[in-house]
Structure 1
Amino acid sequence: MRTRLSAWGLGGHLRRLLGVRLGRLHQHRPQPMSVTAIGFAGDIGGLPRISLVTPSFNQASFVGKTIESVLSQGYPDLEYIVQDACSNDGSAEILGSFDGRPLEIHIERDSGQADALNRGFARTSGEIMGYLNSDDLLLPGMLHTVGTYFRDHPEVDVIYGNRLIIDEQGREIGRWILPGHDGQVLRHIDYVPQESMFWRRRIWDKAGSRVDAGLRFAMDWELILRFADAGAVFRHVPRLIGVFRVHGAQKSQADFVRHGAHEIGTLRRGSYGATQGKMARLLHHGRFLYAHRIADAAFDKALKQGESI
C-alpha cells in the first residue's frame, strides 16, 4: 500500500515539503541544462574495456541523441551494443545513419527490455558493464571517469553516480545528488540512478549473468539486490554521470500502480525481511535523506561557484 500511495503522488508532496529531491522527477520549471560539458584530466593508461548496451523500441525521437552521447565520449576501449526490437517509428533510419561508427546494431524481436539487455550483454566481453536506455544520456567525459575509478579501485564491484533530469526538449527539470552509498537503505528503496551504474563482469557472473526478464519496472533494483547478495562492494562516485529523460512515451503511472508497485513490494519484502524494525528503518531512511539535502546544497554551491562537479 505504501508503494501505491507513493505512486499516486503523496510521497512526492511530502518530499517537496521537506526539500528532498530524491524520488522526484519534476522538480522545477524547465530551464537550460546547468551542466553541458565536464572535462576529464587524468591518466588514461590501462583503462579497462567498457561494454555498454542500449535497448530500444520505438524511440526515434531520442535514440540518436543517446547513441551520440556514448560515441562522443572518446573512450579508448568501448564495446557498444544497440539492441532494437524491430521498431516501426523510423528508428531503423536513424540507426542506419551510424553505419561505420564504432558500435554494433542488432535489430531483432525480443520479449521486452530485460530480454533485449540479456541478448546485448551476451554479445559483450568487457570487464566493465552497464546499460543506457534509448532515451537517456551520458554526460561528456563520464566513461573516462568510470574506467579510471575501476582501474584505480580493483576491490570495487559496482559504482554509481548522480543524475540530471531533463524533459522531452532536453531542458533540465531536476537532479538527484546522493550522499553516498548506504546498503541498508538500498535494500528498502532504490535511489540508484540506473543510467549512472556500472559493474564488473565478475559480479555479473557471480550474480547469475542475467537481468530478470520476468520484471518490467524493477529489473534494475532486482539486479542490484542480487549483486548485494553476491557480496558486491558498492561505491557512490560523487559526480554527475547520467541524464534521465522524462517524457510522455514512458511507462505510465497507471501501469506502475498496476504492475510496478507489486514488483517493488515483492522485492522489498524479500530483501529486507525482518532485519530491521519499521521505526528503525524510518529513522535510518530519514538520516539518509537529511544527508542528501546537505550533499545537494553543497552541489548547488559548487555549481554557482563554477567548481568541478
Structure 2
Amino acid sequence: MDDEFQKKLLQQVEQLENRIALLERNQHLIAAGQRRSTLRGLWRRPPMWTFEQYPPRLLNMKSFQPAPPPPANAPRIAMVTPSYNHAQYLGATIDSIVRQNYPNLHYHVQDGASIDGTLDLLKSRGDSISWRSERDAGQSNAINLGLAGTDCEIMAYLNSDDMLLPGTLAYVANHFMTHPDIDIVYGHRVFVDRDGLEVGRAVLPPYNGKVLQYADYIPQETMFWRKRVWDKIGPIDESLHYAMDWDFILRAQAVGFKFQRLPRFLACFRIHDAQKTAATYAVGVREMGILRRRSLGFDPTQAEIRRAIAPYLALQIAYHYGYKFGALRY
C-alpha cells in the first residue's frame, strides 16, 4: 500500500468518525428534547387527568387486590345512582354494585323519566334494587331524592356510567369500622372507555387539604362518607350542576371532617362522548370559579392555581411511575 493511498484512506476514516460523532451528538440532543417535551406534557396534563393513557385493553380484575370479606356486623351503606337516558351503561353500573354481595346495602336508582329503554332495564331487575323514575331538577336533585331519609351509616353516589371494582364496599366498610376518626374516604381510579375497556389508571398521593382549595383531585366515583357528614353540612347543592361533588368536599373540609385516601383502586370512571363532564365544561369553569372564591376568599389567577397545585402534581407523577414500574403496589 503506497503512502498516498494510505493517507487518503486515513482521511476518509477520520471523516467517517467525525460524521458518526456528529450523528451521536444529534441523537442525544433529540432524545433530550423528547425527554423535555415529555416532561412538559406531563406537567401540562398529569396522569391523573389524562384519561386515555394507552390503547384499550380488557380490564384484568386479577391485577387488583383480592376482594376482602364483608365485616361482621357490617354497617349499613346507602348508595344512589342518578340516571337519565343512560340505559347503554346503567346495567353495568347496577351490576358492579349488586355483585359486591354486601350484606347490608340499600341501593337505589333515581331516574329522571328516561325515554331510552332505562325503564325496561329497571323493571327487569325485579326486587334486587330500589328505583324510581320521575322528572327531576337535574343530577344534584336526583342524588338528594335518592338519599333523603335513608337509614344508614355510610353514604355514596355512583353515576350511571361508572362502576365499582369488586370488594370496594367491604373494604370501605372495614376501613370505617377500624378507623372511627375518619369521616370521608376515596381511592385510586381506573379509566374505561364506552365499551368498558381499560384505557388508563390514576394513582393518587395522600390527601392534601390546601391543594383541594385550588383544584378538585378527588375521584367522585371512589368517595364514601359517614352519614354524620351529610347531617352536619347538608345535602348536595342543587344550584350546582358540574362541581357539586367538589362543593360537598369543600364544605366538609371547612368544618373539620377528616379525609383519607385509601391505598386501593375502588372504581372505574367511564370516558365517552356524551358524558356530562365534557358536555358542560363551560358551566364547570364558572362553578369552579365560584367555589375557589368562596373557599380562598379571592379569585386566583391561572398562574396562582398552577403554583399552588404544582407540588401535588409532581408527587402524583412520582406515584404514577412508581406504580407503573412496580415500586408501589395497590
TM-score category, normalised to shorter length: 0.7 to 0.9
1:39 maps to 66
Q: 1:43 & 1:116 partners in 2: Cα distance?
A: 29
2:243 maps to 218
Q: 2:163 & 2:279 partners in 1: Cα distance?
A: 26
TM-score of the two chains, using structure 1 as the length reference: 0.87
Tell me if the contact between 1:69 and 1:138 (Cα under 8 Å) persists in the aligned partners: yes
Hey, which of these two has a bigger chunk of helix by percent? 2
1:104 maps to 130
Instruction: Select the structure of larger CA radius of gyration.
Output: 2
Identity of aligned residues (%): 39
Q: 2:164 & 2:70 partners in 1: Cα distance?
A: 21
Q: 1:213 & 1:172 partners in 2: Cα distance?
A: 32
Aligned pair count? Answer: 291
Coordinate RMSD, CA, aligned? 2.4
Pair 1:244-2:272 in alignment: no
Say if 1:272 and 1:17 are closer, same or farther in 2 by CA, change over 3 A: closer
Higher RCO by CA contacts (8 Å cutoff, separation 6 or greater) = 1
Determine which of 80, 96, 103 is the counterpart of 1:53. 80
2:292 maps to 268
Determine which of 142, 145, 156 is the counterpart of 2:171. 145
**Greater shift after overlay, 44-53 or 245-254?**
245-254
Q: 2:86 & 2:212 partners in 1: Cα distance?
A: 30
SS of 1:165 mapped into structure 2 = strand
Say if 1:69 and 1:278 are closer, same or farther in 2 by CA, change over 3 A: closer
1:196 maps to 222
Determine which of 285, 295, 299 is the counterpart of 2:323. 299
Say if 1:283 and 1:18 are closer, same or farther in 2 by CA, change over 3 A: same
Say if 1:254 and 1:193 are closer, same or farther in 2 by CA, change over 3 A: closer
Say if 1:308 and 1:142 are closer, same or farther in 2 by CA, change over 3 A: farther
SS of 2:280 mapped into structure 1 = helix
Tell me if the contact between 1:128 and 1:201 (Cα under 8 Å) persists in the aligned partners: yes
Tell me if the contact between 2:93 and 2:161 (Cα under 8 Å) persists in the aligned partners: yes
Deviation at 1:283, TM superposition (A): 4.5
1:87 maps to 114
Deviation at 1:290, TM superposition (A): 1.7
Q: How does 1:4-83 map to 2 (within 5 A)?
A: 15-16=41-42, 20-35=46-61, 38-41=65-68, 44-83=71-110
Determine which of 143, 146, 150 is the counterpart of 1:120. 146
TM-score of the two chains, using structure 2 as the length reference: 0.82
SS of 2:187 mapped into structure 1 = strand
Q: 2:112 & 2:45 partners in 1: Cα distance?
A: 40
Q: Structure 1: any 5+ residue segments left out of the alignment?
A: 1-12
**Alpha-carbon displacement from aligned partner over 1:100-120 (angstroms, at most 9, x marks no partner):** 21x211111101000000100
Determine which of 205, 209, 217 is the counterpart of 2:231. 205
